[in-house]
């Protein structure tokens, strides 16, 4: 049962699991980094009340912990196209799990994602003198990818529970620009400047998620 629950957690983040992950140097990691490492692997340690305890727990767990293998950024898709597809897939998965009516809502989320990621992605790239292709690659790397999927999971759950708020792409776009639900403006900015700190905060934030998604 524990193994099946662990697989479900990792699939929620859009990752593939395998054995034999490289063991990090936990002593050099910050507390939030260790907690995110644990979250991605479905591990928890309620009794770990300081860094030393977390280091010991992670070190002892690392050998048998599943490896997290993230998909590579698509080479034939733009930043907005790739994440529009991810948004639709995440919404459809949530709808199927909750038995909710999804076609209109999930299509609105996908359309809003395409539009917003194109506009704000290009704007951010231009300010930083980067290409949006570089931002796409970053969004699939390290902690960014599971953080993005966590945000889209949160958005999907909200929209499926409140379909009138997400009936059109315009309404959804007003939500993703920066609200208490999700803030993709900040997310894209942090991808552009390659700031990982907010990504750990996203993964460690349990608000709005069910027990099987923590």
Instruction: Spell out the per-residue pLDDT of the chain, length 214, in tens.
Output: 334 334 444 444 455 444 445 688 999 999 988 888 887 787 889 999 999 999 999 999 988 887 777 789 999 999 999 999 999 999 999 999 877 677 899 999 999 999 999 999 999 999 999 999 999 999 998 889 999 999 999 999 999 999 999 999 999 999 999 888 999 999 999 999 999 999 988 988 765 454 344 3
List, in sequence order, the alpha helices (H) in 13-102: 31-40, 51-62, 79-98
* pLDDT in the model for residue 37: 86
Beta carbons of 33 and 164 less than 8 angstroms apart: no
> What pLDDT shows up at residue 158?
95
Q: Cβ–Cβ contacts within 10 Å for residue 72, how many?
A: 9
pLDDT value of residue 7? 41
Three-state secondary structure along 182-213?
CCHHHHHHHHHCCCCHHHHHHHHCCCCCCHHH
> What pLDDT is recorded for position 43?
87
pLDDT (0 to 100) of residue 121: 97
User: What pLDDT does 207 receive?
Assistant: 57
DSSP string computed for 139-192: HTSTTHHHHHHHHHHHHHHHHHHSGGGGSSHHHHHHHHTS-SS--HHHHHHHHH
Give the pLDDT confidence score for residue 55 in this predicted structure: 95
């Amino acid at each position: 049962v524990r193994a099946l629950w662990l697989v479900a957690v990792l699939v929620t983040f859009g990752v593939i699991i395998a054995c034999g992950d490289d063991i990090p140097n936990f002593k050099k990691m910050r507390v939030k980094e260790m907690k995110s490492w644990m979250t991605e692997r479905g591990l928890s340690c309620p009794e770990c009340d300081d860094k030393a305890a977390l280091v010991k727990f992670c070190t002892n767990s690392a050998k048998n912990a599943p490896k997290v293998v993230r998909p590579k950024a698509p080479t034939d898709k733009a930043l907005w196209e790739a994440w529009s597809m991810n948004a639709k897939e995440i919404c459809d998965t949530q709808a199927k799990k909750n038995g909710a009516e999804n076609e209109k809502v999930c299509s609105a989320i996908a359309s809003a994602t395409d539009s917003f990621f194109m506009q704000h992605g290009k704007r951010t790239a231009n300010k930083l003198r980067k290409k949006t292709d570089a931002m796409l690659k970053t969004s699939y790397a390290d902690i960014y990818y599971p953080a993005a999927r966590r945000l889209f999971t949160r958005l999907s759950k909200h929209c499926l529970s409140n379909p009138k708020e997400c009936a059109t792409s315009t309404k959804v776009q007003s939500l993703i620009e920066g609200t208490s639900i999700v803030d993709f403006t900040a997310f894209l900015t942090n991808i552009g400047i390659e700031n990982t700190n907010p990504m750990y905060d996203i993964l460690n934030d349990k608000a709005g998620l069910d027990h099987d998604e923590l």
